[in-house]
Structure 1
Amino acid sequence: MERMNAAGGRRRRAGARLCAALLVLAAGAAAAQGQMYKWKDAAGVIHYSDRPPPTGQAKALRPDNQPDVAPALPYELARAVRSHPVTLYTTTRCGACDQGRALLRARGIPFAEKTVTTAEDQQQLHRIGGKDELPLLVVGSRQVTGFAADTWNEALDSASYPRKTMLPPGYQTGTAEAAAPAALPAPPPHEPPAPAPDAAAAQAERQQPRQPPTPPAPKPSKPDFQF
């Protein structure tokens, strides 16, 4: 009887240790699921995921931010975005630009849009090798000038982008921004510091016109006679 009681006690203690271990694992899994990361890829697209990006440059979000974050991209799409980011250069009142933008959105391609409206934007377009014709589609290192659906689809296929959209519900690409970043205002002209009081007085004295020296007054002459 004593041996049976001892064996039962050992089983109970082993069961308690197993339950404690399972609770620790469950708590660790919950903590891991509660950690979210936020980062921006080379195309300017913002991602949210429970795993950090390969580069390691991510901002950790608190668990209470989870309801407001966007879903992460599927692996296949995220790999294409990382290897061959897509940038679309457009301008205003451009029907071909509207068609190109619609193709990218219908296919579910994350892309960054750069608008060309000023001379600085045009210079930036020329720096990357673009021409004056728009739209310009940049897929990785490949550039496609003008809109042609077949050519655009072929460029995206070569970059391993899926033919049908794989974007999670509610996922939005970044908003359009100017091709050339806004220049910072020029700093005010540098003014020399005001001279010290003594130095200012000395400088004012030096700037005064020099007057000829006043001759000394003649000495009174002694009389020739003596008393």
Structure 2
Amino acid sequence: MNIPTSTFTPASASYLRCAALGLVAGLVSVSALAQGVYRIVGPDGRVSYSDQPPPATNARPVTAATGSANSANAPLPFELRQVSNRYPVTLYSSSECAPCNSGRNLLNARGIPYAEKTINTNEDAEALKRLSGQASLPFLTIGSQQIKGYSDSEWTQFLDAAGYPKQSALPTAYRRAAPTPLVAVQAPATAAAPGQTTAQSQSVEAPAAPSVTPPVTNPAGIRF
């Protein structure tokens, strides 16, 4: 662009110099941010931030949080993470439930991130009745929506309506969490022996939680 010499005044030159200095300062700021911000903890415990790494060993770069419920897993794609946060999926199943396997296969094939709760004890069955109003399996929740029993078309319809992708978008490094019982098994509390101090009783290791063995027959009242 050619600027006529008649309009190029000293004031114009001063303005251009100021604009150039502002641009350089902006580029320096962007460069500093790109290099990282360091969190510094002083000897008095006070925390400060700087773009210059100090010689102290307690300074470390501040990185953006990835925010994942399963930090050991590869982070979910943005859209899938939004849908799963808005409409989380939970499958209630049992090892003796054939339709549960069909439902699980559908969720796995579509790459749905879901939690699985197992119903293998009478306590689990009672908790399921309070949750769903009945004891039939499989039982699926998508957000606040409850789906009782397995139907390929019905599950697909609700997953589509929630916005889940029709094909798997999970990262190859993604690993599903292991199923857990609906009712957690707690170890019984141990009482201190006569003459034993509180500190001594606390040092005694609590017995391990008993393992839950799936019954040969289905829990009372559960139907598939």
Quote the Cα distance in structure 2 between the aligned partners of 1:85 and 1:171.
Answer: 17
Q: CA shift at 1:36, angstroms?
A: 2.9
Which of 184, 189, 192 matches 1:181?
A: 184
Which of 22, 32, 35 matches 1:27?
A: 32
Per-residue CA deviation, residues 127-161 of structure 1 (Å, 9 max, x unaligned), is: 21252221111111222222111111012122222
**Which residue of structure 1 lines up, in the alignment, with residue 141 of structure 2?**
138
Question: Amino acid of the residue matched to residue 177 of structure 1?
Answer: T
Which of 172, 175, 181 matches 1:172?
A: 175
Pair 1:189–1:119, CA change in 2 (3 A) = farther
Pair 1:101–1:185, CA change in 2 (3 A) = same
Quote the Cα distance in structure 2 between the aligned partners of 1:17 and 1:142.
Answer: 55
What RMSD in Å do the two structures reach over aligned CA positions? 3.4
Which of 87, 92, 115 matches 1:112?
A: 115
Quote the Cα distance in structure 2 between the aligned partners of 1:135 and 1:167.
Answer: 24
TM (norm. structure 2) is 0.58
Question: Amino acid of the residue matched to residue 74 of structure 1?
Answer: F
Quote the Cα distance in structure 2 between the aligned partners of 1:126 and 1:157.
Answer: 27
- Verify the 8 A CA contact 1:114 1:178 in the aligned structure 2: yes
Pair 1:16–1:169, CA change in 2 (3 A) = farther
Per-residue CA deviation, residues 22-81 of structure 1 (Å, 9 max, x unaligned), is: 2431331353894333342xxxxx26xxxxxxxxxxxxxxxxxxxx76123322x22221
- Verify the 8 A CA contact 1:130 1:136 in the aligned structure 2: no
TM (norm. structure 1) is 0.58
- Verify the 8 A CA contact 1:74 1:167 in the aligned structure 2: no
Pair 1:146–1:69, CA change in 2 (3 A) = closer
Quote the Cα distance in structure 2 between the aligned partners of 1:178 and 1:166.
Answer: 28
% identical aligned pairs: 35
Question: Amino acid of the residue matched to residue 151 of structure 2?
Answer: A
Pair 1:175–1:23, CA change in 2 (3 A) = farther
Higher helix share: 1
Pair 1:186–1:109, CA change in 2 (3 A) = same
Between the two proteins, the alignment pairs up a number of residues equal to: 161
Quote the Cα distance in structure 2 between the aligned partners of 1:35 and 1:158.
Answer: 32
- Verify the 8 A CA contact 1:80 1:160 in the aligned structure 2: yes
